[in-house]
Amino acid sequence: MFKSLFSKLVAMFIATIIFSFSIAGITLYYTLGVYVSEEKVRNLDLSGEEISKYLGIYLDNLGNPIAQVMLEYVMDSYRQNTGAYIWITNQKGIIVFSSPNVRLIDKRVVNNLKFEQGYYGLPDERQYKNVFLGIDPVIEKGDFYGLFKETGWSWLVVQKPFKYKDTGGDEQVVAAIYLITPISEVHKTRSTVYRFFLISIIVSILVSTSLVYFFSRKITKPLKEIRDAAKVISEGEFDKRLNINSKDEIGELAKSFNQMAADLERLEEMRRGFIANVSHELRTPMTSIKGFIEGILDDVIPQEKHKEYLEIVRNEIARLNRLVNDLLDLAKMESGELQLVYTNFNINELIRRCIIKLESIITEKGLEVIANFDEDTLVTADIDAIERVLINLIHNAVKFTPSGGIIGVNTEIDNNNDKVIISIADTGIGISKEDLDRIWERFYKVDKSRSLDTLGTGLGLSIVKNIVMEHGEKIWVESEVGKGTTFYFTLKKAKNAYKN
């Protein structure tokens, strides 16, 4: 039912509002009940107080009809005001005055009164005993010892003692004033107040619901924007960016989202570039192979030069073969398929073997190799992979160093870190600052025309870096244009120095 975040938020807020209003309502209902009945008691008590003044006047002027009329008039007006029955009784519980007239009172009540010598009276002593003890006021709730039983309601009875000087001059309780009202009457006030409360709740729920609606919109709108942008990107439009600048979590999310989109865009560019590079690298040798073979077949190339051209074709095919193999290897490394086989071996030995393998091109260029080896340089690594690293690095050094240059190979044990640092230095052309970061990229060649190197593919250093990283080791380079270049990489020193 509440599928979207928006409707969840709205539902949650409304539930919270209703919940808190209910609690407020229940609390109000009870406190209001207490307050209203206390208020009613005080009101009746005060009314009783007033009536007793006129009762005093009446007793002071016994036999004066005006005093009696005044008393009755006052009783009637308080009856009107409070809605309560008002009785004045004597010490025997006989009702001497009543407003309204007893005959007008609810029959179910009157029937329970006792009737003696033309007067109605309270039938049970408990109904007037306390008030004549002088307790002021006596408050009773319920059916008043059975008097109101037949009405089925609960009643509030406030009794006020009335003191008067007797002939001896002593004050004595000679009468009691009763103010009697059904509790439901009391609660009517509460219901009225409560109705106002309910109306204000409904109004505030309406207002807050629309506010909540508005705010939730505000929260969910950017989320929707992000969702839509994600969709657009997944369809291949990598240049899509979000324009949400709020300083909250959603703003952060948008920021990370834009970062991700930028990364994806770069990745996509790299992918495109890679495919373009591969195609280019494949097309160039194939075009020349095709050209030479056609030249031979069509007799454009004279017979005596066939061997020379076929030689070139063979080299190009070898290069293609290397290229494809390198690409496959790179793909394997990047997908983590390459499994390293760790053994302990002497890195100095391996370097020597690599130099021997490359000896022909080294001597051909008239380069000098100076080796500076630390002792006991046993390492733990994949020997074939490291051989590939060394061949690549030394081969680069040879390629990019003019005749008469020097190639230095060093190994050095770093006992602090249990590493062996291997470095291959040359006195060659060097690499400029701008190119230094990029030489590790696939197909990157500083010298695009490749005057120094016609056979390179620009994959060598990518492979080297991949292998070293796969070992969990570091590789870095220092270079100065015109002076030379030094590549460094680390390997893990073997634990057991005697094992080969």
Judged by the rule CB under 5 A, the positions of this chain that interact with Mg ion are 396, 460
Q: What are phi and psi of 14, to 5 degrees?
A: -65, -40
Distance, in Å, from the CA atom of 314 to the CA atom of 455, rounded to the nearest integer, reads 12
465 close to 475: Cβ distance less than 8 angstroms: yes
Closest CB to ligand ADP among 211 and 455?
455
Q: Which region holds residue 26: left if phi is over 0, alpha if psi is between -120 and 50, else beta?
A: alpha
Q: How far is the CB of 463 from Mg ion (least distance, A)?
A: 9
Closest CB to Mg ion among 82 and 396?
396
Closest CB to Mg ion among 186 and 467?
467
Closest CB to Mg ion among 161 and 460?
460
Q: Maximum CA pair distance of the chain?
A: 166
Closest CB to ligand ADP among 147 and 393?
393
121 binds, among ligand ADP, Mg ion, none (CB under 5 to 8 A by kind): none
431 binds, among Mg ion, ligand ADP, none (CB under 5 to 8 A by kind): ligand ADP
- How are beta strands 484-493 and 419-426 bridged, if at all? antiparallel
182 binds, among Mg ion, ligand ADP, none (CB under 5 to 8 A by kind): none
446 close to 425: Cβ distance less than 8 angstroms: no
**Which residues, other chains included, contact 175 with Cβ-Cβ below 8 Å and sequence gap of 6+?**
55, 88, 89, 90, 91, 96, 162, 164
93 close to 121: Cβ distance less than 8 angstroms: yes
Q: How far is the CB of 342 from Mg ion (least distance, A)?
A: 25
Q: How far is the CB of 456 from ligand ADP (least distance, A)?
A: 3
Q: How far is the CB of 357 from Mg ion (least distance, A)?
A: 15
Helix (H, G, I), strand (E, B) or coil at 371: strand
The residue number with the shortest CB distance to Mg ion is 460
Closest CB to ligand ADP among 221 and 438?
438
Kindly list the distances between the CA atom of residue 437 and the CA atoms of 192, 313, 444, 446, 476, in Å, as whole numbers in the listed order.
Answer: 82, 34, 10, 11, 10
Q: Which of 323, 311, 310 is nearest to 283 (CA)?
A: 323
Closest CB to Mg ion among 157 and 439?
439
Q: Which of 219, 137, 120 is nearest to 176 (CA)?
A: 137
Where along the sequence are the contacts to ligand ADP (CB under 6 A)? 392, 396-397, 400, 426, 428-431, 439, 444-447, 453, 456-461, 485
Alpha-carbon torsion (39, 40, 41, 44), positive or negative: positive
Q: How far is the CB of 338 from ligand ADP (least distance, A)?
A: 18
Q: Write the DSSP string, 24-65.
A: HHHHHHHHHHHHHHHHHHHHHHHHHHHHHHHHHHHHHTTT-H
Closest CB to Mg ion among 405 and 460?
460
DSSP bridge pairs for 423: 410, 488
The alpha-carbon radius of gyration of the chain (Å, integer) is 54
Q: How far is the CB of 361 from ligand ADP (least distance, A)?
A: 13
Q: How far is the CB of 485 from Mg ion (least distance, A)?
A: 12
Q: How far is the CB of 448 from ligand ADP (least distance, A)?
A: 9
Q: How far is the CB of 400 from Mg ion (least distance, A)?
A: 9
Closest CB to Mg ion among 182 and 460?
460
